[in-house]
């Protein structure tokens, strides 16, 4: 599909286009990644489901943002984008957003120990400068959610966890404190909503910006996608069992099939069987329906 705007950034599974000086279009594809590779087989509806989830979360998180004097970047989505010249085939997978000056840190909140957090913890008993109690294992719930920021890696690299002082260096002390406080508040509200829907929101990554202004002192603006399975770890609450890696709510069929086939971490990533694609699509749709209480159409 050709988009009548200039491409300004491209991620593994999404693209960003410039609509005008003040606005961007974020377009989510149906591509899926696993074990750091983008698979050649798309998952039908994934882009539309993740876009609908982000849009829903922006609405849910409005009160938390307002309490913190913050805003979000979403301007419009869906059919309203036809008036902006977005092709009908893309409206469902696109968000029109305010163009921000993005802050150069990834704002990670963790309520559970997993992945690189577990590795760090096993080495040092902490995640960078955030100490954790003894006795935690992969999948443990943390006594309190923690802010574990990271740098934005170059394409092909992994984000690297940084101490809070690194955030202070990057954005200043006041803004760093505001990022930590808002990130944790957004995570707590997201995790509470997810828990009510039978989903553990183990961790997530937010990106913030500020509106371009000469003074540069505007409010924090929540950007990017929010609380999707691509920016977060979603686990089914029913199978949560600390002590081993938890099944991913969305990607477990893909991971299991790649592992069973001996094709995890093998290049080039293989085509997925139809049944794995269908089961994975069902999981994305289920996540949407379970979280929002709305029927997917």
Stretch touching ligand Q0Z by CB under 6 A, among 93-101, 153-161, 168-176, 226-234: 93-101
Tokens read off for 264: 């995890």
Q: Which residue has the tokens 């999948």?
A: 139
Q: How far apart are CA 289 and CA 273, in angstroms?
A: 25
If one asks whether residue 11 binds ligand Q0Z (CB under 6 A), the answer comes out as yes
- C-beta of residue 47 within 8 angstroms of C-beta of residue 29: yes
Give the H/E segment covering residue 258: helix 252-260
Which is nearest to 93 in space by CA: 190, 3, 23, 33?
A: 3
Interface of this chain with ligand Q0Z, residues 188 to 217, rule: CB under 6 A: 209
Q: How far apart are CA 220 and CA 65, in angstroms?
A: 9
Q: How far apart are CA 208 and CA 64, in angstroms?
A: 14
- Which 3 state secondary structure label does DSSP give 104? coil
Which is nearest to 240 in space by CA: 290, 200, 187, 280?
A: 200
Binder among 16, 65, 179, 200 for ligand Q0Z (CB under 6 A)? 16
Considering the complex, state which of residue 108 and residue 142 has its C-beta at the smaller distance from ligand Q0Z: 108
If one asks whether residue 142 binds ligand Q0Z (CB under 6 A), the answer comes out as no
Binder among 47, 145, 223, 229 for ligand Q0Z (CB under 6 A)? 223
Q: How far is the CB of 199 from ligand Q0Z (least distance, A)?
A: 23
Binder among 9, 80, 82, 137 for ligand Q0Z (CB under 6 A)? 9
If one asks whether residue 229 binds ligand Q0Z (CB under 6 A), the answer comes out as no
Give the H/E segment covering residue 37: strand 37-38
- Which 3 state secondary structure label does DSSP give 176? helix
If one asks whether residue 24 binds ligand Q0Z (CB under 6 A), the answer comes out as yes
Q: Sketch the per residue contact string, 56 through 85, with ligand Q0Z: x for CB under 6 A, - otherwise.
A: -----------------x------------
Size of the site for ligand Q0Z (CB under 6 A): 17
If one asks whether residue 117 binds ligand Q0Z (CB under 6 A), the answer comes out as no
Considering the complex, state which of residue 11 and residue 115 has its C-beta at the smaller distance from ligand Q0Z: 11
Considering the complex, state which of residue 36 and residue 192 has its C-beta at the smaller distance from ligand Q0Z: 36
Tokens read off for 126: 């902490």
Considering the complex, state which of residue 73 and residue 175 has its C-beta at the smaller distance from ligand Q0Z: 73
Q: How far apart are CA 95 and CA 91, in angstroms?
A: 8
Q: How far apart are CA 64 and CA 225, in angstroms?
A: 16
Q: How far apart are CA 297 and CA 285, in angstroms?
A: 9
Q: How far is the CB of 183 from ligand Q0Z (least distance, A)?
A: 16
If one asks whether residue 99 binds ligand Q0Z (CB under 6 A), the answer comes out as yes
Considering the complex, state which of residue 25 and residue 201 has its C-beta at the smaller distance from ligand Q0Z: 25
The binding site for ligand Q0Z (CB under 6 A) comprises: 9-11, 14-16, 24, 26, 73, 97-100, 102, 209, 223-224
């Amino acid at each position: 599909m050709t988009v009548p705007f200039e491409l300004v950034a491209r991620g593994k599974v999404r693209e960003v286009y410039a609509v005008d000086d003040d606005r961007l279009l974020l377009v989510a594809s149906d591509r899926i990644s696993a074990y750091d590779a983008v698979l050649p087989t798309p998952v039908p509806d994934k882009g539309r489901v993740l876009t609908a989830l982000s849009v829903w979360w922006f609405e849910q998180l409005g009160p938390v943002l307002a309490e913190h004097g913050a805003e979000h970047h979403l301007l419009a989505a869906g059919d309203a984008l036809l008036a902006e010249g977005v092709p009908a085939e893309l409206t469902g997978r696109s968000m029109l957003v305010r163009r921000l000056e993005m802050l150069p840190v990834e704002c990670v909140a963790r309520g559970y120990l997993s992945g690189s957090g577990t590795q760090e913890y096993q080495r040092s008993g902490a995640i960078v400068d955030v100490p954790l109690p003894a006795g935690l294992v992969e999948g443990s719930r943390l006594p309190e959610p923690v802010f574990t920021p990271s740098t934005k890696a170059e394409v092909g690299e992994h984000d690297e966890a940084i101490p809070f002082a690194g955030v202070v260096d990057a954005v200043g002390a006041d803004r760093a404190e505001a990022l930590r406080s808002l990130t944790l508040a957004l995570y707590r509200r997201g995790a509470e909503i997810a828990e009510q829907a039978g989903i553990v929101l183990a961790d997530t990554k937010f990106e913030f910006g500020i509106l371009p202004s000469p003074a540069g002192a505007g409010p924090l603006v929540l950007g990017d996608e929010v609380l999707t399975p691509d920016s977060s770890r979603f686990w089914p609450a029913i199978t949560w069992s600390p002590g081993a890696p938890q099944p991913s709510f969305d990607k477990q069929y893909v991971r299991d099939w790649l592992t069973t086939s001996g094709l995890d971490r093998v290049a080039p990533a293989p085509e997925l069987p139809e049944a794995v694609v269908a089961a994975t699509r069902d999981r994305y749709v289920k996540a949407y329906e379970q979280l929002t209480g709305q029927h997917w159409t």
